[in-house]
Amino acid sequence: MHPRLTTTPAAATVFTMVLTQGPVSRVEIARRSGLSSAAVTKAARPFIEAGYLEELAATERTAPGAGRPASPLTIRPDREFFCGVKITHEELIGVVTDLRAEPLVSAHRPLDTTSVEGVVSALAGLVSELLAADPAYGERCHALGLAVSGDVDKAHGVMRYSPFLHWRQVPLARLAAEATGLTVTIENDVKSLAVAEQWFGDGVGAASFALVTVGVGIGCGLVVNDRVMAGSHGVAGEIGHVPVGGDEPECHCGGRGCVEAIAGTAPLLAAVRAASGDGSLTVEAAIGAAHAGDAAVREVFARAAHAIGLAMAAMANLFGPERIIVTGDVPGLLSYGLFEEQLNRSFAAQAFGAAADCRLLLRPRSFEQWARGAAAVAIQQQFTLDGV
């Protein structure tokens, strides 16, 4: 139906470079990749013929002076579409994206059950709803990515363990493929988001970076040498259980002093309520109060930011990433500068030597971004040779 285009390393290199680094001339690709320009010409041709890439008319001279102007290669984003769905224990969030993982439509679907059959059939419904939004999607969308929190065996398409769904050893990729008729990739949700940043977000151009997600839990996706780190026992990036609090709070994991037990949504809310004396305060209201100048509440946020900053410093000391992207799904938490200042200060204080040179990027990300991450994994799967 659609024969694989990326069969050789050169093909994968050329295509991903055009996809992720915007319009680039062939010589420039050759320079950046170390390939000969002849190889680039050959590798690019099948993609152009299949409609994935095209030559941009040379409008502006790149280099000043004489010479034949370059005709940069660029992606044709609407050549193929990808479906991405983030699965939580209470709802499905889905998007259809173009080749650049840019969301075109999105939809939700609440889950009234966490049974495998129930989730898969809700998924099938959501996907067909999404693909019905435009006839082009139905024609040119063949891949579906799923992002789930927990222990995912991507290579075999098996959900090894999901604490929230109470699933163990579920062959989710196969079930979803049967229910939707699409090629399905599954991946851990934080890793999926890391892939989206790696190819289409703030990780572009960095061989190594870390993505820290602040929310109910504190998660972390690590990209080292252009590859998302897997962890030999299925565990990696569990920054939430770095013990920065001394003996202080006990954590649900059995440990003590975990960041997550200080700065996760639940303990944060409890601390905010205790500080304000208002037992029914919401996080949003607390953010408002802090922004208005409530010192006690500000202090609570600062303590949480301090814990996260220390854990990030511990991580940076161990790995030395080029950048750290901090995301949070609570609107306003990152943006109002509530966290930012303390986060930077605590990170800088604990980062060792040159590790402090690592750039911190605070980037609020909406719920849709998680679904986008799932689509990004499907895209990467299709155009990479890694696990093939």
Partner DNA sequence: ATTCAATTCTTGACGAAGTTAATTACTGCT
Partner DNA sequence: AGCAGTAATTAACTTCGTCAAGAATTGAAT
Q: Which stretch binds DNA (CB under 7 A): 58-66, 122-130, 252-260, 301-309?
A: 58-66
SS3 84: strand
Gap between the Cα atoms of 152 and 330, Å rounded: 25
Q: Is 312 in the site for its own copies (CB under 8 A)?
A: no
SS3 141: strand
Distance in Å, CB of 201 to its own copies, minimum: 18
Gap between the Cα atoms of 176 and 189, Å rounded: 17
Q: Is 349 in the site for its own copies (CB under 8 A)?
A: yes
Q: Which does 169 bind (CB under 5 to 8 A by kind): its own copies, DNA, none?
A: none
Dihedral pair phi/psi, residue 352, rounded to 5°: -95, 125
Taking the CA of residue 268 as centre, how many other CA atoms within 13 Å lie in the half-sphere pointing to its CB? Answer: 28
Q: Is 66 in the site for DNA (CB under 7 A)?
A: yes
| Residue 146 CB partners (closer than 8 Å, separation 6+) | 84, 85, 86, 87, 123, 172, 173, 176, 184, 185, 186, 187, 374
| Structural contact between residues 209 and 197, judged by C-beta atoms closer than 8 angstroms | yes
SS3 253: coil
Distance in Å, CB of 90 to its own copies, minimum: 23
Q: Which stretch binds its own copies (CB under 8 A): 36-44, 118-126, 140-148, 222-230?
A: 222-230
Distance in Å, CB of 236 to its own copies, minimum: 4
Q: Which stretch binds DNA (CB under 7 A): 38-46, 182-190, 212-220, 299-307?
A: 38-46
The token pair that represents 190 in the structure block: 């934080």
State the binding string over 143-172 for its own copies (x if CB under 8 A, else -). Answer: --------x---------------------
Burial bucket for residue 201 (CB in 10 Å: 0-12, 13-18, 19+) = buried
State the binding string over 229-248 for its own copies (x if CB under 8 A, else -). Answer: xxxxxxxxxxxxxxxxxxxx
List the interface residues with its own copies, window 190-219 (CB under 8 A): 206-208
Task: Kindly tell me which of 26 and 323 has the beta carbon lying closer to DNA.
Answer: 26
C-alpha dist (Å) from residue 219 to 197, 206, 304: 15, 20, 15
Distance in Å, CB of 17 to DNA, minimum: 13
Task: Number of residues interacting with its own copies: please give it, by CB under 8 A.
Answer: 53
Distance in Å, CB of 47 to DNA, minimum: 12
Q: Which does 236 bind (CB under 5 to 8 A by kind): DNA, its own copies, none?
A: its own copies
Q: Which stretch binds DNA (CB under 7 A): 8-16, 124-132, 221-229, 301-309?
A: 8-16
Q: Is 34 in the site for DNA (CB under 7 A)?
A: yes
Closest Cα to residue 268, out of 335, 216, 191? 216
Distance in Å, CB of 258 to its own copies, minimum: 8
Q: How far apart are the first and last CA of the chain?
A: 18
* Orientation angle between helical segments 116-131 and 172-180, nearest 10 degrees: 40
State the binding string over 109-148 for its own copies (x if CB under 8 A, else -). Answer: ----------------------------------------
Task: Kindly tell me which of 58 and 266 has the beta carbon lying closer to DNA.
Answer: 58
Task: Kindly tell me which of 35 and 275 has the beta carbon lying closer to DNA.
Answer: 35
Distance in Å, CB of 35 to DNA, minimum: 4
The token pair that represents 277 in the structure block: 């004396």
Q: Find tokens 């607390």 and name the residue.
A: 286
Residues shown for the chain: 388
For residue 205, give the amino acid letter: G
Distance in Å, CB of 252 to its own copies, minimum: 11
Gap between the Cα atoms of 77 and 94, Å rounded: 19
Distance in Å, CB of 54 to its own copies, minimum: 34
Residues found near its own copies in the complex (CB under 8 A): 151, 206-208, 220, 222, 224-225, 227, 229-248, 253-257, 310, 313-322, 349-350, 352-355, 357-358
